[in-house]
Amino acid sequence: MKLGVCLFLLLLVSGSADSRCFCQVTGDLDDCTCDVETIDSFNNELLFPKLQTLLESDYFRFYKVNLNKPCPFWTVSSHCGLKDCAVKPCKPNDVPEGIRSSSLHKYPAESNEQRGECEQAGRLGAVDVSLSEETREALLNWSKHDDEAERFCVLEDEGSPDSQYVDLLLNPERFTGYKGPEAWRIWNSIYEENCFKPFTIKRPLISNSFYSSPGSEAKTFHRWLEGQCVEKRAFYRLISGLHASINIHLSARYLLDDSWFQKTWGHNVSEFRGRFDSELTAGEGPKRLRNLYFLYLIELRALAKALPFFQQPSFQLYTGRAEEDQRHKELLLHILQLARSFPLHFDETSLFTGDEKEAAKLKEDIRLAFLNISRIMDCVGCFKCRLWGKLQTQGLGTSLKILFSERQIEALPSSSDQRPRFQLSRQEIVSLLNAFGRISTSIRELKTFRSLLAEDG
């Protein structure tokens, strides 16, 4: 649909749910010289299928993460709180007596209702940390390899004895039942306290029920945003895009049917509309979707810029199986070359550059805000949400690290006896590609939602 038609529909404040979600999600994107349609076909037809294949490889499916760090900002006091929600779900009193005593029939179908949201959230939110003996041994071999390779810093998480490997394919990002005040508080503190926003400006988007969002506050907020420098505006939009992406996954892999003999996950159109329909979100929904595209472009740009790093002959996707490792490296390089070939990149000469002193300050501001957001992820009560939250913030952080390091990457030495000034750890590489994989999947899912909404009328 062309922008003109779209605006016309907006003025009429009518049109189908389809056009209400996607109305502004067409044509050119702000701060960028690219349009949504080009991104859609590039992603859905070219990039997405190849990326999926790559992410299923052993190198990319095992992510090392510390899920047991305490929340540094507040006590996580919710009933399904931090520790082992899945193993010992909730307080005993939250679970009806009949179920507690019949531990042999752990999840009898008829008492599904009574179990209540609390236990359900624990069960669905649990992270499966199981790995086969063989995998465990192989991973030991990999870290030995990584330790021998030269690195310039070890991320706090990666080095911690509490960190463990998680198989991402066993733990898909999907609906977990994690919602309500606690989940709300996480996003709220990310937006309220970590988006360079003065307290006098009220955020529109976040409220306990996403059906109510006051219109005039939204206007003030967006006016404020307009006045910001491009980087701070970009930062807000990246976070908003990440939030949109996560919500798309939860709507696309919603728990539609939950009984003890089967679980069905699938698209829930009304959940999607609740988050993105302009009528149900006081006009915010389509902006969130545009921010998702913006995030996509930033991460795509970072991948393109990182190509020289991955092209170094010494770089391996090491799993110890030389032939397979070589094949996966070729696939990775192919994907990065595709990213490089994408014609309409946003203009990063206007982003992350400018007056050198000012740029350095800004870079530091953004780095600190980012660090803080990843610490907020330790406050997420649902482990599976925490896993994907950490992975995606780390992936985005790695993208920004790449964008800010353009000069160092270009100056990478061609011979291996010089110490390179730019490095990425295995954990950064895994999160970079998997985070982008999530955004790429979201863009692909939008196509499905578009047609589901069109059917609904």
Q: Is 382 one of the catalytic residues?
A: yes
Distance CA 52, CA 418 (A): 35
- Measured from the CB atom, the residue of 42 and 318 that comes closer to ligand NAG is 318
Could you say whether residue 35 binds ligand NAG (CB under 6 A)?
no
Chain mean position to CA 17: 25
Q: Is 385 one of the catalytic residues?
A: yes
Could you say whether residue 322 binds ligand NAG (CB under 6 A)?
no
Could you say whether residue 399 binds ligand NAG (CB under 6 A)?
no
Residues forming beta bridges with residue 262, ordered by sequence position:
259
Could you say whether residue 137 binds ligand NAG (CB under 6 A)?
yes
Which one of residues 271, 325, 348, 365 is an interface residue with ligand NAG (CB under 6 A)? Answer: 271
240 has binding-site annotation: yes
Contacting ligand NAG within 327-386 (CB under 6 A): 368-369, 372, 376
Residues forming beta bridges with residue 65, ordered by sequence position:
164
CB 98 within 8 A of CB 111: yes
| Other Cβ atoms closer than 10 A to 177 | 20
102 has binding-site annotation: no
Of all helices (H) and strands (E), which one includes residue 263? Answer: strand 262-266
Chain mean position to CA 287: 17
267 has binding-site annotation: no
What is the residue type of 7? L
Residues forming beta bridges with residue 164, ordered by sequence position:
65
Pairing outcome for strands 62-65 and 254-259: unpaired
- Measured from the CB atom, the residue of 247 and 392 that comes closer to ligand NAG is 247
275 has binding-site annotation: yes
Chain mean position to CA 138: 28
Measure the N-to-C terminal CA separation of the chain; round to a whole number of Å.
Answer: 16
Contacting ligand NAG within 62-121 (CB under 6 A): 73
176 has binding-site annotation: yes
Contacting ligand NAG within 206-265 (CB under 6 A): 254, 256
Which one of residues 41, 216, 259, 270 is an interface residue with ligand NAG (CB under 6 A)? Answer: 270
- Measured from the CB atom, the residue of 323 and 355 that comes closer to ligand NAG is 323
Which one of residues 31, 35, 117, 193 is an interface residue with ligand NAG (CB under 6 A)? Answer: 193
Q: Which residues have C-beta within 8 Å of that of residue 18, sequence separation ≥ 6?
A: 450, 453, 454, 456
Known binding-site residues for FAD equal: 174, 176, 187, 240, 243, 275
Catalytic residues: 382, 385
Q: Which residues bind ligand NAG (CB under 6 A)?
A: 73, 134, 137-138, 141, 189, 193-194, 254, 256, 268, 270-271, 274, 320, 368-369, 372, 376
